[in-house]
Amino acid sequence: MPRAPNLKEYQMNIRYLGTTERYSEAVCAGGFVFLSGMVPENPEADAKAQTENVLAQIDRWLEECGSDKAHILEATIFLTDMNDYAAMNEAWDAWTALGRTPARACIEAKLAKPEWAVEIKVSAVCK
């Protein structure tokens, strides 16, 4: 009968990036990258421009973790107003890697700041 694995056998290097007292922007572990929800740095802009800004942040964090958008496994998109769905998709479609689009959910939600139109959270594998 196989023995139960010893947790010490599964120790791995975990990198925490952009860490504050409350959360990390990115965590890299076991060949995976987990990003916190990215929010726009340009809250005065429209939903498309906010989405483009968030996607650029995702690009930067993925690169920092040794990944890229072609290696995203799943994305969860939060919109404050589903009337912005087409504008968000316009930015998303221009950004995603053709033929490598991740599993995705889009949810209408009240975000932490009313001026934010979009928040995107992704998980990826390292290259």
Kindly state the tokens that stand for 9.
């056998």
From residue 18, alpha-carbon distances to 61, 64, 75, 79, 123 in Å are: 9, 10, 20, 24, 16
Which range marks the domain in which residue 86 is found? 19-125
Could you tell me if residue 13 is inside a domain?
Answer: no
Could you tell me if residue 11 is inside a domain?
Answer: no
pLDDT per residue as tens digits for the range 89-99: 999 999 998 89
Closest CA to 72 of 30, 41, 104, 48: 104
CATH assignment of the domain containing 25: 3.30.1330.40
Q: Where are the alpha helices (DSSP H) in 6-111?
A: 47-64, 85-95
pLDDT per residue as tens digits for the range 4-62: 665 555 567 999 999 999 999 999 999 999 999 999 999 999 999 999 999 999 999 99
- Number of folded domains that form the chain: 1
Could you tell me if residue 64 is inside a domain?
Answer: yes
> What's the whole-model pTM score?
0.90
Could you tell me if residue 32 is inside a domain?
Answer: yes
Angle at 121 between CA 96 and CA 113, to 5 degrees: 120
Could you tell me if residue 2 is inside a domain?
Answer: no
Could you tell me if residue 7 is inside a domain?
Answer: no
Could you tell me if residue 14 is inside a domain?
Answer: no
